Homo-oligomer: A and B are copies of this chain.
């Protein structure tokens, strides 16, 4: 056991990674290509051009370049809040009485409160480089919308955020944060798009959904001059940007002679998990490492553990390209009693392929267990985690306790994706004892699977 590690493993500015790592370049079994929803042929750059920024499209389609340079204009922004702290969880180890060494990468110290800023900065920079003047996006819980608002303020771009109406009502402070950064917030569904109008005609009192907000944001982007759409997870260029998380961990670990045996990450659309594991998984794919990777998902939205590996749409309105992924079907909607985040129906295609090839394990956890772990962690390590992050905490603790049982001195790394400042209503629900666990029945899952396209 290494007890000489500093509590916080720092990197100097010179030591900070200057390139992202493209995990797909190291895979023998590449993820299946994205398909055009009309032709069912692999999507081309031209297909994607009306929607996304040029460099993001190039990165999305690039399966071979191992390392991609981070432009100076992005590195400069990263330096303002990175490296994110990599912390040795001495207090947690002591409290658990485990022989395991536990480390966590804390992505919540920037104002947006999560890792989402890593890709928001990149996408805003590229948009500016393309000569665009505005961007559109959607947000549910608000982490991604906050990150994009910050990035657009920094890179001087207008931003329209379609925020799920019911989320905006439940989280007025998230909305205020984005507006303070200068973003225009439109509650979705809205009258500003045809897709929004259609939904409102059918159901004037709907609280909206992420799927609808995506449709509105894309429609707005393609119908506005010098405007494109940005997405905060699921896509491979987002994972590329997020590889900065894992690269910082790897660089610091190498500096201190540390090799992780187990890496644990929360998995929604996969952007944090994919970024965290990138350099470690690339070594595993090259036979240089035997690291165990565990994806943790909510039992109420179990795309890995109970989903199907199939082509599916990214949005519930079924307008996006088709992605081969583990999915519950774009029509699947987790129970409204689920407060713990990670509500997305599918999973990034790269991670899906790795899971299919048994290079990643997955576990589903119920939300009272997640909040138990969150509060335990907050009291011991001092940081109040986002519910999303607490999925990884829960399983990291489980693994550390397993080490206690077996006496093994394993090294565990987990991703602490963000802070829970804007999730206090979920904590209030937990504190009051009103939080209930929920696992979808097989019948409920079948309803979701029925929404899968026939390809």
Q: Taking beta carbons and an 8 Å cutoff, which residues of A are in contact with B? A: 6-8, 10, 12-13, 76-77, 79-81, 87, 90-91, 109-111, 113, 150, 153-154, 172-173, 176-177, 179-182, 375, 378-384, 419, 421-422, 424-425, 427-428, 431
Contact = CB atoms under 8 A, between A and B. Distances in A.
B431 A176 contact: yes
A371 to B, nearest CB: 9
A378 B181 contact: yes
Closest 4 CB pairs of A and B: A173-B424, A153-B379, A7-B79, A6-B13
Indicate how many identical chains form the complex: 2
A340 to B, nearest CB: 15
A353 to B, nearest CB: 35
Nearest to A117: B382
Contacts of A422: 421
Nearest to A82: B8
Contact of A8 (B13, B176, B177, B378): B13
A381 B419 contact: no
Nearest to A151: B382
A70 to B, nearest CB: 15
A172 B170 CA distance: 13
Given A153-B378, A380-B154, A176 B428 contact: yes
A422 to B, nearest CB: 7
Contacts of A384: 111, 177, 180-181
B80 A87 contact: yes
Contacts of A153: 378-380
Contact of A381 (B7, B13, B80): B80
A299 to B, nearest CB: 22
B12 A10 contact: yes
